[in-house]
Structure 1
Amino acid sequence: MEIDSCSNVCIEDSSISVSHDAISLKSGWDKYEISFGRPTSGIHISRVDLQASTRAALAFGSEMSGRISDIHANHIHIHSSSKGISFSTTPDRGGYIEGVDIADVQMGSVHVAIEFSSNWSSHSDDHFDPSELPVIDQITLKNMEGTNISFAGVLSGIDGDLFTAICLSNLNFSIADSAPSSSWFCSNVSGYSELVFPEPCSELHMPSTNSSIFFSLPSYSALAVA
C-alpha cells in the first residue's frame, strides 16, 4: 500500500503481506515535488499486521521531496520481514520527514528492526539540485518488542546533514543467535534513548539532563524525561 502526497488518511484493522514495502509513505521526487509542494501529512495507522519479505513493513521515503509530517502509527505487528520500520532518503532530495510517532510494535523474525538510510541514490532524471539536502527530524519510536532480530538498528545519516532528534523509549529486541555481535550501527545521527535493549550506539545518548527531550505530536511540544 503506497500513500503518496496525501493528507488525512486512516489505515486500521488491516493485514498486508507482500514482497515489497507493506505500507509506504512518500511525497514525490526531487525538484518536481519540491515545486508541486503537496506533503503527506495527518496519517494514522493502527492495528495492522504487516509482512514484507524483501523490503520494509512500514517505510518512509525515499521519495519525500514534498515533505512528510504528522504521522501516528500504533499497535503494529510485523513478522517475517527484511526490515521492520525504515526511513530512506538521499542527498539532492530536499524535503523533510519530521513529526513521526510510532508506538506499541511487536516484531518477529525481522532482519533489521529499525533502519535510517541515506543512500537511495535514484532520481527521476538528471535535473536535480545537489544543494537540496533532506531533513530527518523529530522521530519517536517507543514501546517495541522483537524476537529473532538480526540487527536492532542501522542508522546512517548524511555527512554534514545529520538526522536529528531520533528518540527511542522502551525498546526490547531479542537478537538471533546467528546475528553479528554488534546489534546497532550509527553514523551522522543524533538523538536520545532510554530503556533500550540491546544498548544503542553512543550517537543516541543525548547528555543526561533534566531537559532531555522526546517529541509529542501533533504540537511537537517538548516532553521532559526524568
Structure 2
Amino acid sequence: MRSAGISIGSEMSGGVSNVTVENVTVWSSRRAVRIKTAVGRGGYVRHIMYRNLTFDDARVGIVIKTDYNEHPDMDFDKNAFPILENISFTGIHGQGVRVPVRIHGSEEIPVRNVTFRDMNVGITYKKKHIFQCAFVQGRVIGTIFPAPCENLDIYDEEERPVKLSTAQNVTDIDYGV
C-alpha cells in the first residue's frame, strides 16, 4: 500500500488556502486524503474543498492529524499553532475503507468548520467508532454513511438544522473571532 493519495502538510509555516481537489480516485492507499500538522508548524490550512472523490481499498479515507510531531530538531517554536478551518468534503464515495474518517484536532489546534455532504463510503472493518473525531467542529448536510461523530451538527438537504452537537470539546474554546 502506498502512503497517501492526496496530502497537505506537514510543514505549514506559510499556510495553504483556497485549494480545490476534485474528480480523483485513490486506490490501494494507507490514507486517501490526509492533512497533517503539529505544534511548531504555524501557518494555516483553510478554504480547502474536496469534491467527487472515490476511495477504493484504503486503510483510512480522510485523516486530519494535528499531532504530526516530526521536527528536524528541538529548536522549534512551541507556541506556533497552525489554524485548520473551512474544509469541505462533498461527493465522497468508496468501498473497502477500514476507517472512513479520522479527524484528531487538539485543544491547541482545533479543527473548525468542517462540512460533509453526499458521502457514502463502504467499510471493511467494523469498529465501535468508525467516524472518529476529537476537537472538531462542523456539520453534516443531508444523509451520509457511515454515521458522523457527535461533534458535528446535522442539517437536512435544504440546510435546515436537524440536530445540533452537544459535544463541548471545541465549542468552549475562545477562538478570538
Instruction: Flag whether TM exceeds 0.5 (same fold).
Output: yes
* Residue 143 (structure 2) pairs with residue 190 (structure 1): no
Cα distance, 1:210 vs structure 2: 4.7
CA distance in 2, matches of 1:101, 1:93: 22
AA matched with 1:200: P
1:120 paired with 2:75, answer no
Match of residue 96 from structure 1: 44
Q: Secondary structure at the match of 1:205?
A: strand
User: 1:205 corresponds to which residue?
Assistant: 153
Query: How big is the alpha-carbon RMSD for the aligned residues of Structure 1 and Structure 2?
Result: 1.9
The equivalent position to 1:180 in structure 2, one of 127, 132, 139, is 127
Tell me if the contact between 2:40 and 2:76 (Cα under 8 Å) persists in the aligned partners.
yes
1:206 CA drift (Å): 5.7
SS in 1 for 2:148: coil
Match of 1:164 among 109, 112, 125: 112
| Residues 175, 211 of structure 1: alpha-carbon distance in 2 compared, 3 angstrom cutoff | closer
| TM-score relative to the length of structure 1 | 0.66
Contact (CA 8 Å) 1:91, 1:158: kept in 2 or not? Answer: no
CA distance in 1, matches of 2:14, 2:154: 30
Maintained 8 Å contact 2:153/2:161: no
Moved over 4 A (4+): 206-212
Residues 1-226 of structure 1 correspond to what in structure 2 (within 5 A)?
A: 53-176=1-124, 178-194=125-141, 195-205=143-153, 210=160
Do the aligned partners of residues 109 and 174 (structure 1) sit closer, same or farther apart at CA in structure 2, a change above 3 Å counting? Answer: same
Residue-by-residue CA offset, 1:124-178 (whole Å, 9 max, x unaligned): 33221111101000001100111111111111002133110111110001111x4
The separation in 2 between residues aligned to 1:150 and 1:161, in whole angstroms, is: 26
Higher RCO (CA 8 Å, separation ≥ 6 residues)? 2
1:186 counterpart letter in structure 2: C
Q: Which runs of 5+ in 1 are unaligned?
A: 1-52, 213-226
Inter-partner Cα distance in structure 2 for 1:162 and 1:169: 21
Identity fraction in percent: 22
- The amino acid of 2:3's aligned partner reads R
Q: CA deviation at 1:180?
A: 2.1
Between Structure 1 and Structure 2, the one with more helix by share is: 1
CA distance in 1 between counterparts of 2:91 and 2:147 reads 15
TM-score (norm 2): 0.83
Q: State how far apart, in whole Å, the 2-side matches of 1:104 and 1:69 are.
A: 19
**Residue type at the aligned position of 2:43:** G
* Range with bigger deviation, 203-212 or 63-72: 203-212
Query: Is the Cα contact below 8 Å between 2:22 and 2:50 reproduced in 1?
Result: yes
Deviation readout 1:156-214 (Å, 9 max, x if unpaired)? 002133110111110001111x44243111101111112211111011226887589xx
Please say which structure displays the higher CA radius of gyration: 1
Which runs of 5 or more structure 2 residues have no equivalent in the other structure?
163-177
SS in 1 for 2:27: strand
